[in-house]
Chains A and B, each alone.
Chain A
């Protein structure tokens, strides 16, 4: 028997029992819908976690700190400094997209008559894009940049007029991209020396930096900082050290954390960022870095915890969905059995006129399969509607971190394309399974008995 003929015949058989077929399909539809919606709730929960955790920082980035330098790793090796070579080693790990040291240098920023302390973050400029620093205007750093800088939105709030007798901060509308911005390693630059302070022996001329972009509120360390190429920051650091020595070591008032970062080649850096290619490798890469004795942090740790805590709820939801579907599948089996009883004689007839056992099994399996496909597709449609309704009325079943503000785009139900396909596919397969026993029964009907039945 040709495949198409079997298809055609099975559709026809369903069509002549319209009411019962429809009722069965509705059952499957509701079952599929139950599964898909329940799973979508769980998915939305995870998605919300991810979204909220991402607000805490980039989930694909691992912050590496070298707090234990000189100590021992758990397996007894000496913890080495976080040098360029080490960071290159991170970058070569499986699943890692790139790694950059972060060098933190406190300098004086000078804009017109305003001065202020600022933290300069030196990064590998090739890595700028990978760090996902949200640039609102202008551009990010590239490999060719030298004295170019990307400035945080809030960096200007440190600026004030030192000549003024009262506190005079820089105006709100100061646009650093249009102003001439300079930095100086003389931390007392432009300040009125307070009584008793030794005046610097040498004066330094502030260095002009070119602001090429602004960082909009990233919620992280970039908001108050200036991001510049690593090499330039290293140069600044050397100049600053020279200046400080020339002034009898710490001649200026050193504010900030200038001393906490070191210049790299030998002593190693204090901090590095490792960017990972996909979420799944974050934990693994973190473990590797920790095994080397460094501290590693990523928001993913919080995410994993939350997922673990909500796993029970998700399993219950899934269980409810599967129960609903099992009931629908029993409905299919029931419908198929009923139709075999009704069509006993017909099965006998087609056996007599030459239907093979396989033909009969295929016809019945296909009927069950059609119910599954129609029910499944309609069930997915219904789920999409239900999902829309849930999202519109914002019914929350958890998945919200209590101490986080309600984030944008949080959903109650989330149906990705794979779930739609899986829902319809599952419905089809489960229906086929429900059709197996009835089809076998039809196949094994004795011709003589079937024909005798009126």
Chain B
């Protein structure tokens, strides 16, 4: 196993008027390939900022972030976009589907930006929708689906371009307990099959059970790192 994400002494400082807020205050962390890494902490601890930094949505004030062999803190916005197309998938708490597109089109959208031809991307999107159990919901718009179904679409979208790393920001925050477990099982099994790495942020302790590593964050620093199960998939099963 080799490290896929490496953070080296990362700071992220926000200025609010005269005050300086250190959301991330000197974090070094290495995440191995195939890990399911859970960032946990109270709200305001800086865990979400840390996730955004790792995903290249935000730039660190100081320090370096490397994914694979790429220093993502050095990329410009267009390079980041291309990088995200190839290597990164996203799952959000509020699903963030495009309301006017059908489930199939939503899942195929990342491929659209990659320039994959229509028939090919529809085929790929269909496969993933089947994998998340939405075979009969392909032509539905987001508002015609339940929260769990929408999150399944969003998971399918994150996995469709076969990324190396999937970032999930409170993926089950809007879901009930039963659905939460369904989603976690789904994500971990998909990632296990494809040898993908998942980094997720949550404050739900139950989700930690699916992780191979739990990183506890408080006040912008790593408080504690706990090892979880051997692999997330078997734990969930």
Q: Would A5 and B77 be within 8 Å (CB), given that A16-B100, A349-B98, A353-B90 are in contact?
A: no
> Closest CB-CB distance, A46 to chain B, in whole Å?
49
- Give the distance in Å from the alpha carbon of A247 to the alpha carbon of B85 in the complex: 109
Residues of A with C-beta under 8 A to B157:
353
Instruction: With A2-B115, A346-B98 as known contacts, state yes or no: A357 contacts B110, CB within 8 Å.
Output: no
Interface residue tally for chain A (C-beta within 8 Å) = 23
In the bound assembly, the distance between CA atoms of A354 and B55 in angstroms comes to: 12
Q: Which A residues are in CB contact (< 8 Å) with B81?
A: 351, 354-357
Residue pair B78, A349 in contact (C-beta under 8 Å):
no
Which residues of chain B come closer than 8 Å to A2, judged between CB atoms?
112, 115, 117
Q: Which residues of B contact A12 (CB under 8 A)?
A: 100-101
Q: Tally of A-B residue pairs with Cβ under 8 A? A: 59
Given contacts A345-B96, A451-B96, whether A353 and B110 have CB atoms under 8 Å apart is: yes
Pair A5/B98 contact, Cβ less than 8 Å = no
Does A352 count as interface, using CB distance less than 8 angstroms? yes
Q: Is B229 an interface residue, CB under 8 A from the partner? A: no
Query: Quick one: closest A residue to B158, CB to CB?
Result: A353
Q: For residue A451, which residues in chain B have a CB less than 8 angstroms away from its CB? A: 57, 92, 96
Minimum CB–CB distance for B163 against chain A, Å:
10
Are A352 and B113 in contact, with the CB atoms below 8 A? Answer: no
Q: Which B residues from 91 to 105 make CB contacts under 8 A with A?
A: 92, 96, 98, 100-101
Q: What residues of chain A lie closer than 8 Å to B55, measured between beta carbons?
A: 352
CA–CA, A356 and B118, complex, Å: 19
- Contact check: which of A353, A356, A357, A448 meets B109 at CB < 8 Å? A353
Interface string of B61-89 (1 = CB under 8 A from A): 00000000000000001100110110000
In the complex, which of the residues A13, A350, A358, A448 contacts B57, with contact meaning CB atoms closer than 8 Å?
A448
The docked-state distance in angstroms from the alpha carbon of A9 to that of B92 is: 23
| Distance in angstroms between the alpha carbons of A355 and B80 in the assembled complex | 10
- Do the beta carbons of A354 and B113 come within 8 Å of each other? yes
Say whether A302 faces chain B, with CB atoms less than 8 Å apart: no
- Give the complex CA separation of A35 and B118 in angstroms: 41
Chain B residues 39-75 with CB under 8 Å of chain A are 52, 55, 57-58
| Residues of chain A contacted by B52 (CB below 8 angstroms) | 448
**A447 CB contacts on chain B under 8 angstroms:** 57
Task: Give chain A nearest CB distance to B44 CB in angstroms.
Answer: 15
B84 touches A350 (CB 8 A): no
Report A347 CB to chain B, min CB distance, Å. 11
Q: Can you report 9 A-B residue pairs in the complex whose CB atoms are below 8 A from each other?
A: A12-B100, A12-B101, A345-B96, A351-B81, A352-B57, A354-B113, A354-B161, A356-B82, A448-B57
B positions within 8 Å CB-CB of A: 52, 55, 57-58, 77-78, 81-82, 84-85, 90, 92, 96, 98, 100-101, 109-110, 112-115, 117-118, 157, 161
Known: A1-B113, A12-B100. 6 other contacts (CB 8 A): A16-B100, A352-B55, A353-B84, A353-B110, A354-B82, A354-B84
